[in-house]
Amino acid sequence: MAEVTGDLSVRIVRKQYPLARRNVPLVVFENFTFTIAPGAFVALTGPSGCGKTTLLNTVAGLDRDFEGAVDLGQGTRLSYVFQTPRLLPWRTVRENIALALPYGDAQHAQVDELIVRVGLESAADDYPERLSLGMQRRAALARAFVLDPDILLMDEPFVSLDKTSAAGLRSLLLDLWSRRRATVLFVTHDQTEAVALATRIIRLGDTPAKILQDLSVSLHAHQRADPEAIRIEERKVFTPV
């Protein structure tokens, strides 16, 4: 992956949704700006409905109905991991992962490398219906990283998993991120998960959305697998000022 040289910059002058019954728009963002340095892992937290997914969709270019601008940098590769794995049921694991690559791309050897990395080599030729939810999420992670993304957007990708499965996927994500360093914007409602993964936590709230807290996480890589170190950092990071 080429080194990312520019910041991810978002400026939303106004983003609103119409409310037909009351004929009054819901203003989600107004005069909202933030910047993320290249290679940072940023967790977005906040209550449901505060605009976290809307913000991801705006950065991804899936929602262009807003006033403002998003600057990703020229030639930036972007991957998006959704709340559901979104694997095509008529394609095998290998085919689903390769689907992210441009047609005829010569990097298909990387598909097999990532299949091994995420522990799905025995299921590479299986269809999604034969996989557990955790295995499907592993395939979705591999598909996101096969592009060598400069920017990786993740919308609660481990939601609905049990603690052990979620912890395993967090460890896998950090391993993939350490090898293919991307700028990550990760939505979660779980502040423990945010501390375990992120180098920076942005807590959103209010309507229109505002940045209520912008917090740094100081855990070293080896501490992110230590539950006690995570608990100590969580208490420090989220202590009310």
Per-chain mean pLDDT for the chain: 89
Judged against a pLDDT cut of 80, whether residue 236 lies above it is answered with yes
Q: What is the pLDDT of residue 223?
A: 92
Q: What is the pLDDT of residues 62-116, one digit of tens each?
A: 999 999 999 987 778 899 999 999 999 999 999 999 988 876 565 677 899 999 9
Instruction: Look up the CATH number of domain 8-77+148-237.
Output: 3.40.50.300
Domain ranges of the chain: 8-77+148-237, 87-130+138-143
Residue 6 above 90 pLDDT?
no
User: What is the biggest distance separating any 2 CA atoms in the chain, rounded to whole angstroms?
Assistant: 55
Q: Which residue has the tokens 């049990």?
A: 162
Chain segment 136-183, per-residue pLDDT in tens: 999 999 999 998 899 999 999 998 888 888 989 999 999 999 888 899
Does 12 score more than 80 pLDDT? yes
pTM listed for this prediction: 0.92
4-8, 128-132, 186-190: which has the minimum mean pLDDT? 4-8
